[in-house]
């Protein structure tokens, strides 16, 4: 009898714990949540989760995946779809279970018409290879950054400190102040902020109100493909009780024109950012004409908060252009957007529609690891 793929219910919790133990013993950092989303408090009217497990004849759990159901807007038509997230298979550590990843994604395609995923970490990650194999489209979402405190950045950026020679060079730049000078030159050359934008008001609010609904209605027509971002959904995704989130209402002339969801996080041995204090523009929304105002407002708030670095992933060309205009540089992206065959048929070729769509770290699993 072949493996069964069944909903995650409480009776399977010991078997999931055993799966995670086998994964750790095999040297993997991956693990599957040991309680079902049905028993957690993170399901709302705005979105909900379903968890599924691959179970063999003996009751062993060999893998699992989660569907996060949420409404999206495609040319202003609201369409339900699901984020195919956290696919974990014992095939990571044991080749005899290598086909479980394929069976899970095929099962998910039977349950949900339109599927996507965000993250992956690499175009060559095991999950990415499985998705390619079943006909999904993949493309990286642009990553942009601005260095605020060059000295600490140079000492902490793990990505660039991959050899003794590189570490010596970066430490020298930090010690002599040449890193600061180089960053200052880049900021002067690249940062162009219209005078009218500099007069904007940025208010840190406790929750998203009716003003966010007005911004959603005014801006949704500008984007080919984006998650619904009305006030109800935003307050569910970013609950007022979560102190990590700074919700910024950006206004010009007393009129709200957009918003940004930002984080200010002190890292601790992060694999890329070391011990830096990292600001992130995790989510944002506005009509495209106000993207520059919102980007500048978010940047101003974070740079005044003592961060070493500000980062953001943005798919939309207008938001990328706005960040570049205020001094952001492009970096290597490990944030991959993937769409199932049926979803790609609905929205058009992914690489062509990415720049007219609106995706960032607030989508998919949300601003994790930031």
In a domain, 152, yes or no: yes
Do residues 293 and 180 share a domain? yes
Show contacts of 123-126: CB within 8 Å, 24+ apart. Answer: 123/336, 125/336, 126/91, 126/92, 126/101
Asked whether residue 190 carries a pLDDT value surpassing 80, the answer given is: no
Do residues 167 and 96 share a domain? no
User: What tokens appear for 223 in the block?
Assistant: 């984007």
Do residues 183 and 297 share a domain? yes
Domain boundary among 71, 97, 113: 113
> Which residues are within 8 A (CB) of 144 and not within 5 positions of it... i.e. 6 or more apart?
311, 312, 313, 314, 320, 323, 324, 328, 329, 330, 331
Do residues 154 and 290 share a domain? yes
Q: What are phi and psi of 244, to 5 degrees?
A: -70, -30
pLDDT at 21: 96
Give the pairing of strands 77-89 and 115-120: parallel
In a domain, 368, yes or no: no
Do residues 57 and 157 share a domain? no
Do residues 241 and 106 share a domain? no
Check which CATH number belongs to the domain holding 61 and give it: 3.40.630
Instruction: List pLDDT tens digits, range 235-244.
Output: 999 999 898 9
Do residues 106 and 170 share a domain? no
In a domain, 276, yes or no: yes
Do residues 38 and 158 share a domain? no
Burial 278-310 (b: 16+ CB within 10 A, else e): bbbbbbbbbbbebbbbbbbbbbbbbeeeebbbb
Supply the pTM of this predicted model. 0.85
Do residues 318 and 185 share a domain? yes
Q: Return the CA Rg of the chain.
A: 22
Q: What's the DSSP call for residue 57?
A: T
**pLDDT band, very low/low/confident/very high, at 161 (cuts 50, 70, 90):** very low
In a domain, 103, yes or no: yes
**pLDDT band, very low/low/confident/very high, at 168 (cuts 50, 70, 90):** low
In a domain, 166, yes or no: yes
Do residues 289 and 166 share a domain? yes
In a domain, 263, yes or no: yes
| Residue span of the structural domain in which 271 resides | 143-332
Check which CATH number belongs to the domain holding 219 and give it: 3.40.630.30
**pLDDT band, very low/low/confident/very high, at 367 (cuts 50, 70, 90):** confident
| 102 vs 41 pLDDT, higher one | 102
Do residues 187 and 307 share a domain? yes
pLDDT at 156: 54
Show contacts of 172-181: CB within 8 Å, 24+ apart. Answer: 174/150, 177/151, 179/150, 179/151, 179/153, 179/154, 180/150, 180/151
Tally the domains of the chain: 2
Asked whether residue 296 carries a pLDDT value surpassing 70, the answer given is: yes
Instruction: List pLDDT tens digits, range 130-141.
Output: 889 899 999 999
In a domain, 236, yes or no: yes
Instruction: List pLDDT tens digits, range 218-234.
Output: 999 999 999 999 999 99
pLDDT at 169: 44
Do residues 149 and 48 share a domain? no
In a domain, 171, yes or no: yes
Beta strands in the chain (DSSP E): 4-7, 47-55, 61-74, 77-89, 115-120, 137-140, 143-147, 201-205, 225-227, 246-252, 255-266, 277-285, 309-313, 329-331, 335-339
**pLDDT band, very low/low/confident/very high, at 4 (cuts 50, 70, 90):** very high
| Largest interatomic CA distance in the chain | 70
Average pLDDT, rounded, for the chain = 86
């Amino acid at each position: 009898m072949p493996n069964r793929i069944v909903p995650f219910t409480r009776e399977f919790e010991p078997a999931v714990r055993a799966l995670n133990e086998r994964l750790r013993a095999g040297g993997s950092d991956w693990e599957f949540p040991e309680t079902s989303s049905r028993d957690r408090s993170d399901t709302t009217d705005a979105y909900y989760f379903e968890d599924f497990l691959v179970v063999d004849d003996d009751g062993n759990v060999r893998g699992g995946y989660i569907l996060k159901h949420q409404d999206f807007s495609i040319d202003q038509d609201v369409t339900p779809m699901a984020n195919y997230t956290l696919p974990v298979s014992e095939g990571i550590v044991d080749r005899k279970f290598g086909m479980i990843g394929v069976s899970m994604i095929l099962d998910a395609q039977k349950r949900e018409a339109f599927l996507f995923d965000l993250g992956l970490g690499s175009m060559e990650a095991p999950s990415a290879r499985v998705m390619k194999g079943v006909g999904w489209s993949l493309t990286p979402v642009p990553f942009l950054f601005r260095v605020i405190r060059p000295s600490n950045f140079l000492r902490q950026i793990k990505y660039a400190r991959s050899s003794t020679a590189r570490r010596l060079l970066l430490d020298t730049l930090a010690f002599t102040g040449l890193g600061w000078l180089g960053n200052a030159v880049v900021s002067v050359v690249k940062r162009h902020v219209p005078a009218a934008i500099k007069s904007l008001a940025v208010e840190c609010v406790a929750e998203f109100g009716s003003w966010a609904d007005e911004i959603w209605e005014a801006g949704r027509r500008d984007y080919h493909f984006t998650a619904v971002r009305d006030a109800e959904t935003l307050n569910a995704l970013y609950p007022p009780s979560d102190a990590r989130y700074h919700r910024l209402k950006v206004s010009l002339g007393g009129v709200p024109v957009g918003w940004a969801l930002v984080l200010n996080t002190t890292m601790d041995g992060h694999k890329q950012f070391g011990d830096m204090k990292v600001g992130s523009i995790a989510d944002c929304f506005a009509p495209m004409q106000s993207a520059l105002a919102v980007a500048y407002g978010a940047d101003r708030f974070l740079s005044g908060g003592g961060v070493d670095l500000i980062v953001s992933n943005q798919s939309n060309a207008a938001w990328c252009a706005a960040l570049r205009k205020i001094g952001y540089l492009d970096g290597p992206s490990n944030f991959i957007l993937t769409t199932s065959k049926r979803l790609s048929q609905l929205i058009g070729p992914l690489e062509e529609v990415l720049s007219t769509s609106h995706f960032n770290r607030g989508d998919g699993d949300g601003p994790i690891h930031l």
